Structure 1
């Protein structure tokens, strides 16, 4: 995985005086590290291949093993070890480097509810492009559907239809050969029936209507009281002492 160190072992306990150890990378066998006790060479070549190995290579001076620190996907490929001594020893390491997986995202794909529909439409997707990964829907421990991709430039998405009353534990899993990320479906949050929407809508409307009616009644009551007070004062003035 990106960010973790990888060490390639030579299986040599201790480098002998007349051994030469060469580490090469890629189809062109570019020399990236070398040890020669006889010629007093102990070097890593950071500037080759546009500097992709700069500050990432470490050689063990006792065994000749090579460590790559904080590798990225551009460090994937074929590494070759050559040990020249009493006999020639060659080893090949085929290395894959996987990016960290994002957490998959589940969204509702229903733009509106239908009174005739009994299911909820969902989509699980990866918010980042990934390579060598598989996106799957699970019901409990059972795989319902899955889709895989090898191309780094392609994003993943996978639909699912769920009944509103379904109580199964659903989850969406994004995985590659060495890791996985899981998002569990909260059906009560993402899936709402039309009845629930109608009740919510009408409940809000009813509350507003009640508030408006209450306000109008209050205004009318105050108006009546003010009119009554004004009328009473007018009558008192008319029947007062002459």
Structure 2
């Protein structure tokens, strides 16, 4: 005879088997790339159903007989695999970061999956400047301070490397700011140095050639004070952002011009 405890355990496991235990998968992707979320199914049968949601918004519902798309944010970026129910999001941007939910009913069994997607911005190439205040008529006799700089970055680390070893590092989380990191090097130093900015997916590296900085300051194209370096980079960044904004406005104007008028 089955006692009360055994009956409770049996009902509990049957309930878990019917509802499915939710699993979580984490993905990282760069802006402009694509990612695929997989159901793990090989083929949808007649009564099977797959539903995808982004946050609380439904993206699509897929069955063996029909497919529906419901979210405008994924319009022209969503590719659906009819046989398996997999979805691929193309040309992703920061707004596609978040939690995706999969609910499926397969052979009358319900299961759930959760995908956490993080979209990272493209990394700038680090720029290295030398400190003009340390220049002298005999530069080979004095150490040189170098400044590595990156603008408008988030969720990255900026590091100085000596050969393959990290000398110093600084990190930023989700705030979009500029990072700089100094390095003091003796001019007689023959080691190889490099400045690296990286996120969990990629990195950008600029190598330091000390021999290029052994000339007198009047002849050194990279020798200028830190204030001037920052000003030059800020002007370049602002100009680039203004150009991107102008292109974005132009594209919106073209889309509005070709959008059919709404009939009253």
TM-score by length of 1: 0.71
Which of the residues 31, 45, 49 maps onto 1:2? 31
- Distance in 2, Cα, partners of 1:14 & 1:197: 69
Residue 180 of structure 1 corresponds to 203
| Greater Cα radius of gyration, structure 1 or 2 | 1
Matched, 1:36 2:57: no
Change (3 A) 1:150 1:191: farther
CA distance in 2, matches of 1:58, 1:43: 12
Give the deviation of 1:111 after TM superposition: 3.5
Determine which structure has greater relative contact order: mean sequence separation of CA pairs < 8 Å that are 6+ residues apart, divided by chain length: 2
- The answer to whether the aligner puts 1:121 opposite 2:130 as a matched pair is no
Deviates most, 151-160 or 140-149: 151-160
* Runs of 4+ in structure 1 over 3 Å off: 114-117
The residue that corresponds to 2:132 in the other structure is: 110
Q: CA deviation at 1:191?
A: 4.5
What residue number does 1:141 align with? Answer: 164
- What residue ranges of structure 1 are gaps of 5+ in the alignment? 201-242
**TM-score, normalisation: structure 2:** 0.66
**Could you say which residue in structure 1 is the equivalent of 2:86?**
65
1: CA distance between counterparts of 2:217 and 2:115? 59
In structure 2, relative to structure 1, the CA distance for the partners of 1:177 and 1:21 (3 Å cut) is same
Instruction: Output the aligned Cα RMSD.
Output: 2.1
3-state secondary structure, aligned to 1:88: strand
Query: What is the DSSP-based 3-state SS (H/G/I as helix, E as strand, rest coil) of the residue aligned with 2:120?
Result: coil
Q: Does 1:25 align with 2:54?
A: yes
Counterpart for residue 13 of structure 1: 42
C-alpha contact (below 8 Å) 2:132/2:217 kept by paired residues: no
2:134–2:143 contact (8 Å) kept in structure 1 = no
Retained in 2: the 8 A contact 1:44–1:59?
Answer: no
Within-5 A mapping of 1:216-227:
none
Task: Tell whether the 8 Å contact from 1:46 to 1:55 is kept in structure 2 after alignment.
Answer: no
The corresponding residue for 1:54 is 75
